[in-house]
Each structure stands twice: as C-alpha cells, then as structure tokens.
Amino acid sequence: MESEVEVTLEVGTIGNFKWTDANTADLIVWRVSNSSLFTGKRNTALRAFEQFVKEKDLEGKVTPAWVKKKWENLRQKYKDIKSLSLLGGDPNSSQWKWYAIMDQALSGEITITPSILSSPSSASTHFGSPVLVSSSGQEAPPIKRRKEQYLLAALQELERRQEERERREAEREDERERRAVEREEERDRRALKREEEREKQSLERERRREQEMLARQERWERELLAREERREREYREREERRDREAASREDRLFKLLETFVAKK
C-alpha cells in the first residue's frame, strides 16, 4: 500500500493531487468503520464523505462527490468481478488488489468492537503492529489512531487470509492435477489390461480353432481309414464268396462227369 499510483485528473480533484493506495486503504477503512453514517437517506452519503475529506485533511485536494464516486467505483468493480466469477468467468479477475478487502468489507466480516478500540494493544497482539500515518502525513488523533490502527491491522489480516486462500487454492489445484494424472494413469492401466485380456481371448479362440481343425482332421482320417477297411473287407468277402461258388460248381461238374462215365 506504500506505492503511489497516479490517477487521471477528473472533475472533483484539485490541482496536482495524486490519489494513492494509502488513500484507497484509508477510504475502505473509514467507510467500514463509519457505516452507521450511511443510512440511505437523501444526501447522507455525500455529507458522510464530507466528514471523510475533513478527517483525512483532503480539503482542497478532492471533493466529497469525487470521493463518493471513488467508493462507488470500488464497490461496482468488486460486484462486477464477483458476478463474473459466479458465472464461471475469468478466475484471474479476483486477483484485483482490492478484491479480498472489498469482499470482506461488503460481506460485513470487518467489524469493530469497543473492547478492541479501547485497547489497541489487543489488535496489535492478534494482527501485528502496523505503523499508521494518515494520508496527509500527520499523526492521527489518539481515538482515530486506535480505530484506524485496528482497521489497518484488519486489512493486513485480510491480505494474509487472501494469500492463505490463494495458497490453499494452489494446493487444491495441485491436488486436482495429481488426481487427474492418477485417473489418467488408472485409465491407461485399465485400457492396457483390457487390451491384454482381448489379446488373451483372441489367442484362446485361435487355439480352440486350431484344436477343432485338428480334431476334424483326425476324425476325417479315421472315417477315411474305416471306409477303406470296410471296402477291403467287403472285397475279401466277395472274393471268398466267388471262390466258394466256383468250387461248388466244379464239385457239381465232377459229380456229373462221374455219373456220366459210370453209365457207360
């Protein structure tokens, strides 16, 4: 928040005044701690920002209307980024430097308690001890100093929380990537296992086909051998039958001859 950022001179800025990050931090802190001044009634916001200009010694540098517009711009940009993120927009939009602080401020998570305001050492113990200087470069009055000391400490805590959220988000992203890699490796292992199973089944089918072909070949050879043996047996039986018939005819012929010779 230390670095100065030049802004384009607009209606409401006076002379060569440069609005800095410190002014923006002061505005957010002051707006949150004085929310009771903004009742919603007509012109109450403008009167409240007049008080801000006086308290921060900005008279003659900016107008209350310009400060009011500055706050509205901060709030509108936060809402635009918030809406974009909810609609699945650019996740890097939330890297706007004031996003985390505005998120906490507008959600009511920055609160002021009388005990802390009356004992700024408790805020220093919890949040650290920030060095507080008003935007005019002069030391603030004691009550305001305690109040702003706590709020600036709260802003530091919000920045720390934002860094912690970003760290956790990075860890979650790493975890998601690790799980994605593991899922991809698991898919590859399953795909390889399925491929090996298909190859195994294909080899098994090929082996069964070869066995079936061999069995058919052996069966065909046995049937062919059986047919050959049957034909050979039938051939021998026919030959034996012809031989018996021929022998029977010869016997009958000899008997006829003997009978014929005997008659002579």
Query: Tens digit of pLDDT for each residue in 175-203?
Result: 999 999 999 999 999 999 999 999 999 99
Q: At what angle do helices 64-86 and 44-55 cross, to 10 degrees?
A: 110
Residue 219: the pLDDT is: 92
Q: Are 24 and 98 in contact (CB under 8 A)?
A: yes
Of 41, 61, 33, 38, the C-alpha closest to 49 is 38
Residue 38: the pLDDT is: 86
Inform me whether the pLDDT recorded for 24 exceeds 60: yes
Residue 21: the pLDDT is: 84
pLDDT in tens, 113-147: 333 333 333 333 333 333 333 444 444 456 556 65
Q: Are 19 and 13 in contact (CB under 8 A)?
A: yes
Residue 182: the pLDDT is: 93
Does residue 121 lie within any of the structural domains? yes
Residue 205: the pLDDT is: 92
Does residue 214 lie within any of the structural domains? no
* Count of structural domains, the chain: 1
Residue 226: the pLDDT is: 92
Does residue 72 lie within any of the structural domains? yes
Rounded CA separation 143/121 (Å): 13
Residue 185: the pLDDT is: 92
Does residue 57 lie within any of the structural domains? yes
Inform me whether the pLDDT recorded for 93 exceeds 70: no
pLDDT mean across residues, the chain: 76
pLDDT in tens, 164-180: 877 888 888 889 999 99
Q: What are phi and psi of 6, to 5 degrees?
A: -70, 145
Type of residue numbered 105: A
Instruction: Give 225: exposed, middle or buried? Use CB within 10 Å, 0-12, 13-18, 19+.
Output: exposed
Residue 96: the pLDDT is: 81
| Domain assignment of residue 73, given as a range | 21-171
Residue 147: the pLDDT is: 57
| Mean pLDDT value of segment 197-224 | 92
Does residue 183 lie within any of the structural domains? no
Does residue 184 lie within any of the structural domains? no
Does residue 82 lie within any of the structural domains? yes
Count CB neighbours of 94 within 10 A.
19
Does residue 232 lie within any of the structural domains? no
Confidence class for position 36, pLDDT limits 50, 70, 90 = confident
Residue 10: the pLDDT is: 47
Spacing of C-alpha 188 from chain mean position: 19
